[in-house]
Amino acid sequence: MADHEERTFIAIKPDGVQRGLIGEVIKRFEQKGFKLVGMKMLQTLLPSLIAYMSSGPVVAMVWEGTGAVKTGRVMLGATNPADSAPGTIRGDFCIQVGKNVIHGSDSVESAEKEISLWFTPEELVTYKSCAFCWLYD
């Protein structure tokens, strides 16, 4: 896999969906230069977080690009919004850890596992963005 094909899993949690932040999150990842290769809205049933994660829809996404995992985590901000810098998603839109709007993979290995839990290979698209030559040498 080429460096620019690294993938990360990003999920907008129910509080982010309910607050209308889907477009803002997508905008930030697109403006950074990452390529969206998978996205769906769904209702989840995760045993350890049933009350919270099933309280509303979740938007699951797969973003691709150089350093997608590490840069994605920086863009999200610290898990605790109080520790998140202004300009990060959590720094700009969150107050409490329990309602921190978004999840992002913390390693390439975690991203691969999370992507396979949320998406089948057929749900992910492969294409070359017309902006590719403006982003990569």
Strand pairing class (35-42; 58-64): antiparallel
Active-site positions? 103
User: Residue 39: helix, strand or coil by DSSP?
Assistant: strand
Which residue, among 11, 42, 16, 8, has the nearest Cα to 98 in the 3D structure?
16
User: Residue 59: helix, strand or coil by DSSP?
Assistant: strand
**Chain center to CA of 135:** 20
> Is the CB of residue 133 less than 8 Å from the CB of residue 33?
no
